[in-house]
A and B are shown apart, each in its own frame.
Chain A
Amino acid sequence: MSTPVAAGTLSASSPAAARVRARRWRGRLAALRESTPATVGVAIVLAWVALAVLAPLIAPYPPNANDMAALGHTTPSKAHWLGTDHLGRDLLSRILWGARPVLVIAPLAVLGAAALGSLLGLAAGYYGRWIDLTITRTCDIVLSFPVIILYMIILAHFGSSAWNIIGVLTLTKAPIIARIVRGMTLDLREREYVAAAKMRGESALYIMLVEILPNARGPLVVDMCLRTGYNVIIIGALGFLGIGLPPPDPDWGGMVKDTYGMMMVWPHMALFPCAAISSLVVGFNLLAVGLRELGLRD
């Protein structure tokens, strides 16, 4: 830190730098195809995104419409490809519509956690001393709490809505991100370009956000992928426990909760939503495995 080396650093905003960055991104997307897990993962996730976006167009029925005539034979048929649930609602339509809340809430909560966690981790790693101690200890306390119990307490008290779920997911995942970013900041703050920025008289906030954070993004991206998958699992679990998104709008976990008691008679009602949520999480996790492989190869 005591040896200032300022000359020759590429300014982040120059057009040359922008071109280099664009080329690097294109290269990275091409590289993604080199890893089979990453390719499969991206394909699954994109397929679900497309289905969710197109749900209003391609879903054969409104998600909450009851088809009383179908109640006699709820199993898959020509009219209802995946059958109907115990209230005569078309399962395919509900699964397609059910992809929408999950694909909004899970990534939003990850972005929230990444933003909050990065700030905390940067501050802890950059300033050190009592700021570091306070942040690390607070994170440890949150992390030591079994999160599902925390969700139960909070959601049972405040009622559950999409925003509440995003809130608790953000607050409980931020410490994990903070821990990762802190570790990398401790290493990165000793680099020469940080010393150079300090010599230029840049503010601490600038150094943290512009000099340090972009260099910590690799592991962060892999972790965000994993977190998104876990968030999908948790949103499903909350729905299954009856403290997820309020009915009657379709929610994969909630659909399983309503119907798994009837498995001896109609297993398809619980099986299809389970398959849907599992495939989406598999997609995110394969993507994470692939990204990690590609990251290690560089």
Chain B
Amino acid sequence: MKRFFVKHLLFLLLTLFAVSFLVFTLNEFSPGAVARKVLGAYATQEQVDLLTKQMGLDRPVLVRYVDYLAALASGDLGYSARFKLPVKDVIFKHLANTALLAAIAFACIVPLSTLLGVVAGMREASRLDRVILMFSTVVASIPEFALGVFLASVFVVWLGWLPGTATLVAGGGWSVAAQLVLPVAVIVLFDSGYVVSMIRASMVEVMQRPYIRTAVLKGLPFRSVILRHALRNAMLTPVTIIMLQINYLIAGVVVVETVFAYPGFGRMMLEGALYKDIALIEAGALVAVFLAVVTNILGDLAYMLLDPRIRA
């Protein structure tokens, strides 16, 4: 257990170093651009040069990288040129919004896809299995923006039941809860398609094991074969995949956030990237990778807890 944490912690640190250095050097390809962005198109070149010097952007890359790390260690994430606010404030506000979206979606995805995946996988090639398999394949094939457009054209344009934007500011007669329905629905549909097929595949494999045949042959009702013998084993592999979805839900939902004008982390990163807001991109990338690696570790941990064979 101790070794597990030490190993993963080292990997987390290594990854954060690698990513921060990569993003940092990547940003070096547009020197001067930061000052230009801050001052706007009408500033003279002299003003831009002066600000570049003031911000210390004319020093060698490595020196600035070390400085950057030192600042990071003291909790200073820099200043966002796009939002004109400290990066810390910008990031955590948007991250909280996305976390809300992700939490609701995750709470729907896990039970829904477990149910569908198990029901489909317990009788491979049955009619129900075919229907669920086709449904999950098709749903996972539709890009998120297309799902958003399809759902919006039915529920917003045609029926008028829901608002087409989710700005989290109650207005136009729509509550925040109503605003959240469509973004959550798009995420749940798109992501469940993938998770269902993973759980189904695992279930199909488990159902072919000898201990299931034994359980069936000794006359146990099918229900308890599934619930007591198959389910736990079938969830082993998917549990890592389910944990990985948290990563997608927080950093990968930029498209959904853009469709519904949701003020989340992904859209903040997109704005930062388009605006070349370097401080924001760097901090955001670090946060995203940190979350990714931590959910990875949690996935491994959950796997260990579920499988007594590798619990050392």
Q: Give the CA-CA distance A10 to B255 in the complex, in Å.
A: 52
Q: Is the CB of B138 within 8 A of A274?
A: no
Contact of A263 among B14, B23, B164, B251 (CB under 8 A): B164
Does B248 lie at the interface of the complex (its beta carbon under 8 Å from any beta carbon of A)?
A: yes
Q: Is the CB of B293 within 8 A of A156?
A: no
Within 8 A of B (CB), among A242-284: 242-243, 253, 256, 260, 263-264, 267, 270-271, 274-275, 277-278, 281-282, 284
Q: Which of B133, B146, B281, B284 has the most CB of A within 10 A?
A: B146
Does B211 lie at the interface of the complex (its beta carbon under 8 Å from any beta carbon of A)?
A: no
Q: How many residues of chain A have a CB within 8 Å of chain B?
A: 43
Q: Is the CB of B266 within 8 A of A281?
A: no
B259 CB contacts on chain A under 8 angstroms: 240, 260
Q: Is the CB of B248 within 8 A of A141?
A: no
A154 CB contacts on chain B under 8 angstroms: 26
Name A242's closest neighbour in chain B (CB-CB). B274
Q: Is the CB of B270 within 8 A of A256?
A: no
- Kindly provide the distance from the CB of B106 to the nearest chain A CB, expressed in whole angstroms: 16
Chain A, interface SS category: helix
Q: Give the CA-CA distance A278 to B144 in the complex, in Å.
A: 10
Q: Give the CA-CA distance A157 to B141 in the complex, in Å.
A: 29
Name B247's closest neighbour in chain A (CB-CB). A146
Q: Give the CA-CA distance A156 to B271 in the complex, in Å.
A: 10
Within 8 A of B (CB), among A106-145: 137, 140-141, 144-145
Contact of A237 among B134, B143, B293 (CB under 8 A): B143
Does A54 lie at the interface of the complex (its beta carbon under 8 Å from any beta carbon of B)?
A: no
Q: Is the CB of B289 within 8 A of A274?
A: no
Q: Give the CA-CA distance A140 to B70 in the complex, in Å.
A: 26
Does B288 lie at the interface of the complex (its beta carbon under 8 Å from any beta carbon of A)?
A: yes
Q: Is the CB of A158 within 8 A of B273?
A: no
Q: Is the CB of A282 within 8 A of B258?
A: no
Q: Is the CB of B149 within 8 A of A237?
A: no
Does A286 lie at the interface of the complex (its beta carbon under 8 Å from any beta carbon of B)?
A: yes
Does B137 lie at the interface of the complex (its beta carbon under 8 Å from any beta carbon of A)?
A: yes
Q: Give the CA-CA distance A146 to B293 in the complex, in Å.
A: 10
Q: Is the CB of B23 within 8 A of A282?
A: no
Does A236 lie at the interface of the complex (its beta carbon under 8 Å from any beta carbon of B)?
A: yes
B153 CB contacts on chain A under 8 angstroms: 263, 267, 270-271
Q: Which of A149, A240, A271 has the most CB of B within 10 A?
A: A149
Give 1 or 0 for each of B202-226: 1 = CB within 8 Å of chain A CB: 0000000000000000000000000
B273 CB contacts on chain A under 8 angstroms: 152-153, 155-157, 243
Name A238's closest neighbour in chain B (CB-CB). B255
Q: Give the CA-CA distance A281 to B252 in the complex, in Å.
A: 19
Does B65 lie at the interface of the complex (its beta carbon under 8 Å from any beta carbon of A)?
A: no
Q: Give the CA-CA distance A59 to B71 in the complex, in Å.
A: 57
Q: Is the CB of B143 within 8 A of A148?
A: no
Does A104 lie at the interface of the complex (its beta carbon under 8 Å from any beta carbon of B)?
A: no
Q: Is the CB of B292 within 8 A of A146?
A: yes
Known: A148-B251, A278-B142, A282-B142. 4 other contacts (CB 8 A): A149-B288, A153-B23, A157-B30, A289-B133
Which residues of A pack against B, CB within 8 Å?
37, 137, 140-141, 144-149, 152-158, 229, 233, 236-237, 240-243, 253, 256, 260, 263-264, 267, 270-271, 274-275, 277-278, 281-282, 284-286, 289
Q: List 24 A-B contacts (CB under 8 A).
A: A141-B15, A144-B292, A144-B296, A146-B292, A148-B266, A149-B254, A152-B254, A153-B23, A153-B285, A156-B273, A156-B274, A233-B143, A237-B144, A240-B145, A243-B270, A256-B145, A256-B149, A267-B157, A274-B149, A278-B141, A278-B142, A278-B146, A281-B141, A281-B142
Which residues of B pack against A, CB within 8 Å?
11, 14-15, 18-19, 23, 26-27, 29-30, 133-134, 137-138, 140-146, 148-150, 152-153, 156-157, 164, 247-248, 250-252, 254-255, 258-259, 266, 269-270, 273-274, 276, 281, 284-285, 288-289, 292-293, 296
